[in-house]
Amino acid sequence: MIDVQGLTKEYGSVRAVDDLTFTVTPGQVTGFLGPNGAGKSTTMRMILGLDRPIAGQALIDGKPYAEWKQPLRKVGALLDAKAVHSGRSAANHLKWLAHSNGIPLRRVDEVLGIVGLSDVAGKPAGGFSLGMGQRLGLAAALLGDPEVLLLDEPVNGLDPEGIHWVRTLVRSLAAEGRTVLISSHLLSEMAQTADQLLVIGRGRLIANQPVGEFVQNHAASAVLVRAEHLSELADALRAEGLSATQDTDAEGRARLVVPDTTTDYVGKLAYSVGVPLAELTARRASLEEAFMHMTKDDVQYHAGTKGDGNVA
């Protein structure tokens, strides 16, 4: 278990993490989300003792990371896959890590097989692609067969097969009763991977709840309807107490957007008032939509768009 209490970190005049408190429990994948600059990586570094907070503490099974005598057997971490000596082979990189924590060298071959790098075990890590580097970082995180895993953007640079493999891996590890904390900006992937979400913005906790609950609370599902007589259908919907707003689809065709209802209900109502439908589609609320809504006031770095004077 990871227990964070009142964690606070400042860099000069910038408060990167602000009185952050949460618990990551075993047996589930906890997703760690936030905009760029929200404090996710800083928080993970403080959990691992790489950065010192000005207040608060982070404990792993009741102890700071630094107090574990063989920490790789307790905690596996991937924060920066590029943090490898470029001239050292994948196998030798893992061997010195194993030696430093009393891990049998046979485990090196095991984890290289798990991550799919057995065929390049003797090649210098400096020649690895981004995806191969990520796999080597995951091998290092798994080396001590740890009870706790902290993974910062573990699917960065991986192809679709690799992303699916990481998803399956972390879910299987959580199912074994391990504690898994994983950050990612790939929200569609996080929606399929995480059970619980921690969402932070500007260093503060803004949500801590199951994925489904987070999406339901912060994003709206809706029914999309196209028909020749949209105004008649809109009047009928409003008469039933439903809101109906008009927009256009990707092809420029007018449609109604009806929140908080079902396709069955809208279809039956359209039939009852004699309006034939050209389209009746359920639009499911998404994690991306919920995340964008929840963090819209906490984004520090906004990209310019045409027309705002920032982009030519």
Residue among 157, 95, 163, 111 nearest 132 (CA)? 157
Token pair in block for residue 184: 């990612």
Say if domain 220-284 classifies as CATH 3.30.70.100.
Answer: yes
Convert the pLDDT of each residue in 147-159 to its tens digit: 999 999 999 889 9
CATH 3.30.70.100 domain span(s) along the chain: 220-284
pLDDT tens digit string along 164-202? 999 999 999 999 999 999 999 889 899 999 999 999 999
C-alpha distances (whole Å) from 229 to each of 192, 234, 252 are 39, 9, 16
The rounded distance, in Å, linking the Cα atoms of 280 and 267 is 7
Which regions of the chain carry the CATH code 3.40.50.300? 2-217
pLDDT value, residue 306: 52
- Distance of alpha carbon 131 from alpha carbon 109, whole angstroms: 19
Tens of pLDDT, residue by residue over 206-245, are 999 999 899 888 777 889 999 989 999 999 999 999 999 9
Identify the weakest region by mean pLDDT among 3-12, 135-144, 240-249: 240-249
Token readout for 241 is: 């107490």
Among 48-57, 80-89, 162-171, whose mean pLDDT is lowest? 80-89
Q: Is 36 exposed, middle or buried (0-12, 13-18, 19+ CB in 10 A)?
A: exposed
Res. 294 pLDDT band, cuts 50 70 90: confident
Q: What is the pLDDT of residues 262-280, one digit of tens each?
A: 999 999 999 999 999 999 9
- Percentage of the chain with pLDDT > 70? 95
pLDDT band at 300 (very low <50, low <70, confident <90, very high): low
Q: Which two tokens stand for residue 278?
A: 């050209």
Four-way CATH pick for 2-217: 3.30.1180.20, 3.40.1710.10, 3.90.1170.30, 3.40.50.300 = 3.40.50.300
Structure tokens at 216: 């339901």
**Average pLDDT value over all residues in the chain:** 92
- Cβ proximity of 142 and 108 under 8 Å: no
